[in-house]
Structure 1
């Protein structure tokens, strides 16, 4: 067995998308989007997102159209958007489908059921949101989903949040 210093599935530099490499250099929040519909739950780690202040405020994110979350969100029309912190790295990886989660990622921590979907216990902040457009536009590889913020829960600022940059988590 040989241990490689490079990622074994990383394409050669000449084959990598320069746009993706540009995006990878931007620090992005590590959010967890969750929803529930017809007795089932779905979630996805989302770092391609922003929050627009206003009355009302909005969360705009890019979601994989083939994800379980996207399919369920379009039916449920509600979601919880949470900001993950230092203690949630494994949760972020599990919901990002890059780490195993025996029994599923919803078994990794405790959850509060809300009218917008499941909210993870112990996060620095979460927002209950409603879907603005049931037919979101395609943007590049993703769907551009716009959520109206209906409710916000903020925890103490002592919880360090994580951002994603170039494939790694950074604590801020």
Structure 2
């Protein structure tokens, strides 16, 4: 077996649609969305909208186990991941093996919104309010019911098909 430094299945930039190329040039937060069940999914198409109440929006694969769990529970947790969470992000994105299941490794805090990584520096408990088809996915909207900030953490971002870190300058 050979381990590649790049994704051997990645579509060459010139073969991608202009929309996909544009999306790849926008840095996006890497978040973990989890629901009671438990089920989870790595999501980089995430937006938080301030207001009363605050909202979280995301593009979710409607065929995912995560979406099935959310439709049953009506609630979920959103956790921004950190640079130390790259393998966690890959596992929940289906890019890395998960022997024993997605939640078999690591420590998890059980919440009414779904499991949250025990080391999470930030997470929000959300209640599903709406969904509709949007491109290849579902645009999911939820009300943020609770937000927790136990420790300050640096974000993990996705840019041009790879993970990146933000540095403070």
Please say whether Structure 1 and Structure 2 have the same fold, judged by a TM-score greater than 0.5.
yes
> How far did 1:7 drift?
4.1
Distance 1:100 1:2, change over 3 A: closer
Residues 30-45 of structure 1: matches in 2 within 5 Å?
Answer: 30-36=30-36, 40-45=37-42
**Secondary structure in 2 matching 1:21:** helix
> Which residue of structure 2 lines up, in the alignment, with residue 164 of structure 1?
158
Residues 1-172 of structure 1: matches in 2 within 5 Å?
Answer: 7-36=7-36, 40-133=37-130, 136-157=131-152, 159-172=153-166
**8 Å Cα contact 1:124/1:161 also seen in 2:** no
Distance 1:160 1:75, change over 3 A: same
Distance 1:9 1:126, change over 3 A: same
Query: RMSD over aligned Cα, in angstroms?
Result: 1.9
TM-score, normalised relative to structure 1: 0.89
Cα deviation, 1:88-123, whole Å, max 9, x if unaligned, reads: 110000001011122122122111111111111111
**Secondary structure in 1 matching 2:97:** coil
> How far did 1:144 drift?
0.3
Distance 1:170 1:5 in 2: 15
TM-score, normalised relative to structure 2: 0.90
Gaps of 5+ in 1: none
Gaps of 5+ in 2: none
Distance 1:130 1:124 in 2: 20
Cα deviation, 1:108-148, whole Å, max 9, x if unaligned, reads: 21111111111111112100010002xx1100001000010
Distance 1:3 1:121, change over 3 A: closer
**Secondary structure in 1 matching 2:115:** strand
Distance 2:25 2:143 in 1: 28
Aligned residues: 166
